Amino acid sequence: MDSQVVHPLQDVTLDGSTASLTTEAAAELESFTKGGSFSKDIQDEIAREFLPDRIADTLNIEGIRVNSRVTKSVLEGLAVSESDRYNEREILNVNAANDLIEAAAADSSRPLTPSLIREVHGAVMAELNAEVGTYRKTEVVITGSKLVPPEALLVSGYVQQVCDQYNEASDIDPFVVAGWLHASLARIHPFTDGNGRTSRMLQDYSLIRSGYLPIGIPLSKRREYYDALTLSDEGDFSSLVTVMANAELTTLSRASTIVQRHTHRTSRIAQLAANSNAKTRQTEYNKFAMWQRRRDQVLKTFQDAFDEFNEKSESVQFETHSYNDLAFEMWQEVRNQGGASGTWIMAVTVLQDKKFRFRVLLYAKRHINRFTTDIGEDSVMHKAVGIFLAGIDDRAESYKLREKYADPYIRLREILPTTEGTYVYTEESALDLPNGVTVHGDLPTWARSGDRFTQDIAIDFIVDSLSKLGI
């Protein structure tokens, strides 16, 4: 039996940025649960909010076309159109499997067993497959993958190996455990069909056991998900865990909104609601929508410049990774509180001869006027949400989001989308200062270089990156 079919759980490590992301998710979970257990009304609303999307996503990933509207109708027992009835059984099955994993996860005395894994598969594939809940007896091929699953005769032993390692795990990041369980079962491919849905369900089973909310895999991350599974086959679980942790942060943020909606139904909130002005909220949302459009233009400008450079460069490459979109509620939290969890926007990894050299993260945080050389604070910048930079020079490092970015080579410091324009703040490189001249870290040194983000800013970033590489 090839031991590498199941990578040892205790040997799984994460790169620095992924480890930072899971730490952020753990902090967000602690904040989410600090008020204790929630009422049944809140639990039911959270389930109604997320379950239809999770069911639709896991089915769409497999090419089974459903949407949240149809899923909600089926779950509520409403009539669906003739064209949607074909997928009704698929939806009901995933819902039944979800009930099963939630009940199993709630029983702390019940370990993960091959029997439970087969039960989950049986629920997922009920009335859809003649071999529900039983291991495959033939060899299989995974469409679109170079991976060759183990021989059918070895499946039972490998599944038992997964259960044993899972049950013996201690002091391991819950996202590592859940991602490893997901990827290991997908790699073994124990069943003739339904392996993906079963693996994603058991991933959520593991997260629920650790106190997290179930997340599935967002359909929007389908390509990243399959790429991440391929990397996990080679023993690299960071990409899969990144997809999961980002999804968890988004889910916790949305769930927090639901909890707050219930918790703050007091006389004070009622009074505030009565006095609130609908036009004010619309104005606020209009600012957010403008911020989104300007942010998207910034990201496109960067991406276009990187793509054009990558086509012509033989040794240096710029790789980008986009994170989940910033929701209106989170944008408001950043404006009001200064920052929030889950505000990563895009990471830019610079490779030279295919080797990692450094990475720069773009993330959202409230504009800090004292960092800049601006005199006073323009009203348009009051509580404005900026796109800040953070960086690491080693994969094992973590981003220092609470510290002022001070890379001596990269001049760009902040991109500030506002209703009047997109301001750009840069800082002259310390390398360009005359000998003997230094700048105290607390002094304002970020100068506004314009009120419009142009391709020149992206090109300047590339120039500074090449300078950092010594080119």
- Whether 156 maps to a domain, the answer reads yes
Q: How much is the pLDDT for 347?
A: 96
Tell me the residue type at 300. Answer: K
What is the Cα–Cα distance from 334 to 229, expressed in whole angstroms? Answer: 33
CATH of the domain at 208: 1.10.3290.10
Please give the tally of structural domains in the chain.
2
Q: Which residue, of 208, 228, 259, is where some domain finishes?
A: 259
* pLDDT category of residue 283 using cuts at 50, 70 and 90: confident
- The one-character DSSP state at 107 is -
How far is residue 187 from each of residues 145, 250, 468, measured CA to CA in Å?
Answer: 10, 27, 40
> Of 259, 289, 312, which marks where a domain is finished?
259
Average pLDDT over residues 386-390: 96
Domain span including residue 394: 277-468
Judge whether 265 lies within some domain.
no
Distance, in Å, from the CA atom of 22 to the CA atom of 448, rounded to the nearest integer, reads 34
| CB-based contacts of 319, cutoff 8 Å, min separation 6 | 348, 349, 350, 351
154 DSSP 8-state letter: G
Same domain membership, residue 303 and residue 229: no
CA 357 to chain centre: 24
Residues 124 and 173 in one domain: yes
Mean pLDDT of 249-258: 91
One domain for residues 84 and 188: yes
> At a CB cut-off of 8 Å and minimum separation 6, what does 40 contact?
none
Q: Which residues of 415-434 are buried (b: 16+ CB within 10 A; e: fewer)?
A: bbbbeeebbbbbbeeeeeee
DSSP three-state, residue 190: coil
pLDDT digits (tens, 9 = 90+) for 202-242: 999 999 999 999 999 999 999 999 999 999 999 999 999 99
Model confidence at 264: pLDDT above 60: yes
Answer yes or no: is pLDDT of 450 > 80: no
Residues 324 and 335: their CA atoms lie apart, in Å, by 18
In the predicted structure, residue 3 carries a pLDDT above the cut 60: no
Q: Examine the domain organization and report whether 323 and 395 are in the same domain.
A: yes
Burial class (CB in 10 A: 0-12, 13-18, 19+), 102: middle
Question: Is 391 a domain residue?
Answer: yes
Helix 174-188 / helix 195-209 crossing angle, nearest 10 deg: 160
- How many CA atoms, within 13 angstroms, populate the side-chain half-sphere of residue 390? 19
CA 421-422-425 angle, to 5 degrees, is: 135
CA separation for the pair 270, 311 (Å, rounded): 58
**Is 353 contained in some domain?**
yes
Q: Is 271 among the domain residues?
A: no
In DSSP notation, 413-470 reads EEEEE-SS-EEEEE---GGGSPTT----TTS--BEEEESS--HHHHHHHHHHHHHHTT
Rounded to an integer, the average pLDDT of 384-400 is 95
Does one domain contain both 237 and 383? no
Is 273's pLDDT higher than 70?
A: no
Give Cα separations from 120 to 47, 130, 195 (angstroms). 19, 15, 10
Q: Mark 298-312 as b/e (b = at least 16 C-beta within 10 Å).
A: bbebbbebbeebeee
309 shares a domain with 218: no
pTM, 2 dp: 0.58
Percent composition of the chain: helix, strand, coil (DSSP 3-state, to 5) = 55, 10, 35
Backbone angles phi, psi at 392, to 5 degrees: -135, 145
* Bridge partners, 387 (sequence order): 364, 415
One domain, residues 206 and 174? yes
User: Is residue 239, in this structure, part of any structural domain at all?
Assistant: yes
Residues 250 and 185 placed together within one structural domain of the fold: yes
What is the distance of C-alpha 170 from the center of its chain? Answer: 24
Give the tens place of pLDDT for each residue, 178-203.
Answer: 999 999 999 999 999 999 999 999 99
- State the angle between helix axes of 238-263 and 40-61 in degrees (0 to 180), rounded to the nearest 10: 150
Do residues 20 and 164 share a domain? yes
Rounded distance between C-alpha atoms, residue 20 and residue 238, angstroms: 11
CB proximity list for 186: less than 8 A, separation 6 or greater: 195, 196, 199, 229
Which of 200, 230, 259 is the endpoint of a domain?
259
Based on the fold, state whether residues 318 and 447 are members of the same structural domain: yes
CB 33 within 8 A of CB 260: no
45 located within any domain: yes
The verdict on 170 and 290 lying in the same domain is: no
Question: Are residues 232 and 312 both part of a single domain?
Answer: no
CA 471/CA 89 separation, integer angstroms: 59
Specify if 214 maps to a domain: yes
